[in-house]
Chains A and B, each alone.
Chain A
């Protein structure tokens, strides 16, 4: 590759990185601006201040933000866990067994994945109020399954199809018991796929806004995106911009850490599930 070409690709790469990170850099910069500095018209703050973080972590806005953070973590982790367990069994059956209905299950998963979320909200809003699930954790975990489960089934069956299942028999021939063969051979082969699926499912649940804002009404169950959407400052005379920016940075940290640590797997999971399924 010539030097000229090389420089071209590097410039292309730099452009991509700037494109991807600029809005994040902006919201981080904004979160360090003091209220009087918000309207300074420039990208960076005139002076860095941590007061926005203090406001949402132990100041007057903390009783709005911290419960929401707790709700988000708990609800998303539980929904991810349930859908991964269900998807694990389904994906095993789809990848390994021969039975009619496989296509139907994958087709249903696809249909559910493209389902307009808001169409589920209207009936659930009414139903949840009647049976007391409105504004509770289960009231969000159940609809979250409609987001996480189809994706988990697709991604995991794609991963499971690539597992060399014959290794299990091979281990048994070599004298391993069924349980040993499963635990020592299959589990290590399947674990990365399950784990990757869990990360992607968590992203999807973490991103939800429609359910969060429609099916909750108090700090008892409101997740972070909904809390951010409704956040209007500690008092009506205070501009909430800085506090929102700080809260936005905090909810972005977990996903950025996951991306940095598991980027290779996440890309494999995303493309496998959609292109190869």
Chain B
């Protein structure tokens, strides 16, 4: 038995007002109105992102320090050379990739488990679960970071006394004292905060799996695991991919938790944090801009490889096809 999917639902019927073959005056007027209404939003979006990134690229070509504006000089791509040959950049890239990998992998599994429970949960407790699961999503990242930091902190925390029975944990364990344990706590905080979002997306995907297929498979004697692998998962591939894409890109921007918990100590600096430190703390506009542009390119690359490589079809996921 191979994977089982229903043929895509029939094409939506064209709206009654759809233009005829010739471009009538009416269609022209509609086009004009469309741009008139949507234009401002598009313009604002481009203004707040496309323009700054173009400016960042321009700034990145200069050796430019805010405290020393007189000596601003054009240096071409040399800022990029400086960054790419600096171990700091590669450490930050490694840390960011590590956090992204761990959090997204754990969140996908955990989020799927949460979605399964919510999908099957009794009608009476569903609102309670829904409200509970929205809380981590709605709580601001800084608050979540503080909560987890204080819990693990050597002075204010309870983790050390609660988990003292675990090997390697005792009242003097300093979780923020070295790289591995710091990353562990940062990942925990990130996972706690963003799993609900993934699970809601997966829950919506689960709801789209046709019940008929499940029943048919059950009648044919498929086990729970077989149904999961051959029916449920293939039918919600689109939802999984969308969740994965959004969360990966989101995780790659990790900044808040690192700022609060370690401030980059013990080489826990992420790429976003590196860009922040260059620009805001060191006022190295040229270098900071180059880091920003590089981060932007990496994000574009990830998004592109997801959409091409995994064939994430956003239109399909949105039920348009």
Within 8 A of B (CB), among A97-154: 97-102, 104-105, 108-112, 114-127, 129, 142-143, 145-146, 149-150, 153
A125 touches B255 (CB 8 A): no
B318 touches A277 (CB 8 A): yes
Residues of A within 8 A of B35 (CB): 93, 99, 101
Within 8 A of A (CB), among B60-76: 66
Binds B, one of A15-23, A54-62, A188-196: A15-23
B53 touches A145 (CB 8 A): no
Residues of B within 8 A of A245 (CB): 146, 150
Residues of A within 8 A of B317 (CB): 275, 277
A16 touches B129 (CB 8 A): yes
A27 touches B146 (CB 8 A): yes
| Complex Cα gap A17–B128 (Å) | 8
Main secondary structure on chain B at its contact with chain A? helix
Residues of A within 8 A of B118 (CB): 16
Which of B55, B144, B279 contacts A127, CB < 8 Å?
B55
Q: Given known contacts A9-B122, A116-B253, is B289 in contact with A123 (CB within 8 Å)?
A: yes
Q: Is A43 interfacial (CB 8 A cutoff)?
A: yes
Residues of B within 8 A of A229 (CB): 142, 256, 259-260
Binds A, one of B2-10, B99-107, B132-140, B218-226: B132-140
Which of A6, A252, A263, A275 contacts B204, CB < 8 Å?
A275
Within 8 A of B (CB), among A32-76: 38-39, 41-43
Interface string of A147-166 (1 = CB under 8 A from B): 00110010000100000001
B156 touches A108 (CB 8 A): no
Q: Is A256 interfacial (CB 8 A cutoff)?
A: yes
Interface string of B142-163 (1 = CB under 8 A from A): 1110111011010111101110
Q: Given known contacts A149-B44, A271-B204, is B37 in contact with A203 (CB within 8 Å)?
A: no
Which of B120, B136, B139, B303 contacts A9, CB < 8 Å?
B120
Q: How far is the CB of A164 from chain B (nearest CB, A)?
A: 12
Chain B residue nearest to A244 (CB atoms) is: B146
Residues of B within 8 A of A187 (CB): none
B285 touches A126 (CB 8 A): yes
B201 touches A210 (CB 8 A): no
Residues of B within 8 A of A120 (CB): 48-49, 52-53, 56, 292
Q: Is A173 interfacial (CB 8 A cutoff)?
A: no
Residues of B within 8 A of A234 (CB): none
Residues of B within 8 A of A256 (CB): 135, 138-139
Interface string of B240-261 (1 = CB under 8 A from A): 0011001001101101100110
Within 8 A of B (CB), among A1-37: 6, 9-10, 12-13, 16-17, 19-21, 23-24, 26-27, 30
Q: Is B313 interfacial (CB 8 A cutoff)?
A: no
| Complex Cα gap A89–B36 (Å) | 9
Q: Given known contacts A9-B121, A41-B160, A105-B42, is B192 in contact with A118 (CB within 8 Å)?
A: no
B156 touches A101 (CB 8 A): no
Which of B15, B157, B204, B279 contacts A122, CB < 8 Å?
B279
Binds A, one of B25-33, B176-184, B227-235: B25-33
Please, how many residues of chain B have a CB less than 8 angstroms from a CB on the other chain?
106
Q: Is A77 interfacial (CB 8 A cutoff)?
A: no
Q: Given known contacts A24-B135, A114-B246, is B45 in contact with A93 (CB within 8 Å)?
A: no
Q: How far is the CB of B23 from chain A (nearest CB, A)?
A: 11
Q: Given known contacts A27-B147, A126-B59, A229-B142, is B40 in contact with A263 (CB within 8 Å)?
A: no
Q: Is A167 interfacial (CB 8 A cutoff)?
A: no
Q: How far is the CB of B5 from chain A (nearest CB, A)?
A: 17
Q: Is B112 interfacial (CB 8 A cutoff)?
A: no
A276 touches B56 (CB 8 A): no
Q: How far is the CB of A28 from chain B (nearest CB, A)?
A: 9
Residues of A within 8 A of B56 (CB): 119-120, 122-123
Q: How far is the CB of B63 from chain A (nearest CB, A)?
A: 14
Residues of B within 8 A of A12 (CB): 117, 121
Q: Is B319 interfacial (CB 8 A cutoff)?
A: yes
Can you list 8 A-B contacts (CB < 8 A)? A98-B18, A110-B314, A115-B296, A116-B272, A214-B280, A225-B141, A239-B156, A266-B134
Interface residues of A (CB under 8 A from B): 6, 9-10, 12-13, 16-17, 19-21, 23-24, 26-27, 30, 38-39, 41-43, 86-87, 89-90, 92-94, 97-102, 104-105, 108-112, 114-127, 129, 142-143, 145-146, 149-150, 153, 158, 166, 203, 206-207, 209-210, 213-214, 224-225, 228-229, 239, 241, 244-245, 248, 251-252, 255-256, 258-260, 263-264, 266-267, 270-271, 274-277
